[in-house]
A and B are shown apart, each in its own frame.
Chain A
């Protein structure tokens, strides 16, 4: 898929390359942005912003990193800037922080037609931010560890550990009675 793009880039045909980049990466860029921002509209805006940045920077792309790695790094930076713009002092890494608790509580304000689902989503919100992102992206990307590792810019082993810890923790808190009964 990237071969055609890279051929155009090597020949200096940046506009042609960009025309191929957008359809090839738009969905994955959007899903990565959604896993970080947790909001569909914000993720779509971030994806737009990401491609604008890619469009501007593509003539300077030197190919030292893989094109996907480069695009995902731009996506993550765009999302982090958006998070900083929203709340400069938020720290989702601490699940006990006021902001994280507020975010978790906001899930409960949605439709109450499926309390189990709402409860599960609320629990996901209490995970540290990097675990939340990995969990969302993992299921959005059809359980592909490799894709999650590439998109979050982390080693495969780190992603596997992160996901394992996250799901184990969720399992424990989702079924506390069963675990404690032993």
Chain B
């Protein structure tokens, strides 16, 4: 933009003039640039102007520093963050315990269903066997049921069925649901 102005340096040397000032040029390149600067008034003027401007800019820009209690405040913040993390751990443990309990209940329910099935099958077999025996002894049974002890026999049968149902219910209720 300002190549035509008095203070503009030779375009090929512009970057190197800055790096020479900042000491970041390699020794051979630095020697070449120094030789050029000695013989070029424009580059010499521009370099001096740049050096003054650079120093002014460095002095003008703020140089803020961290508060002395930066680390203490950070630790306090991290401690506060760690607290909810512990609470969430407790919550996660409670959730896991709840899941375990639900799974145990499911297992218990499956076992009960199996036992119910076995019990029902056993009852059906007994009923069928009994019915078969009764059919084989139908004549004798008919005489018995028509005899004077009919009520005693029917009462005995009813009591036996009631006792069997009671025993089954008791046995089933003693089985743990969970586990």
Contact = CB atoms under 8 A, between A and B. Distances in A.
Interface of A: 22-23, 26-27, 30, 34, 40, 43-44, 47-48, 51-52, 55, 116-117, 120-121, 124, 135-136, 139-140, 143, 145, 160, 164, 167-168, 170-172, 174-175, 178-182
Contacts of A120: 56-57, 60
Contact of B53 (A40, A136, A167): A167
Q: Which of B18, B49, B57, B64 has the most CB of A within 10 A?
A: B57
B71 interface: yes
Interface of B: 1-2, 4-8, 14-15, 18, 22, 24, 49-50, 53-54, 56-67, 70-71, 73-74, 77-78, 81
A164 B87 CA distance: 54
Contacts, number: 93
Chain A at the B interface: mostly helix, strand, loop or mixed? Answer: helix
Contact of B61 (A121, A164, A174, A175): A121
B66 A26 contact: yes
A138 to B, nearest CB: 9
A155 to B, nearest CB: 15
Given A52-B81, A171-B50, 18 more contacts: A30-B65, A30-B70, A40-B62, A44-B66, A44-B67, A52-B77, A52-B78, A120-B56, A135-B61, A136-B61, A140-B61, A143-B22, A160-B15, A164-B15, A172-B1, A178-B6, A179-B8, A181-B6
A51 B1 CA distance: 44
A55 B61 CA distance: 32
Contacts of A22: 71, 74
A182 B71 contact: no
Contacts of B57: 120, 124, 135, 139, 167, 170
B66 A182 contact: no
A18 to B, nearest CB: 9
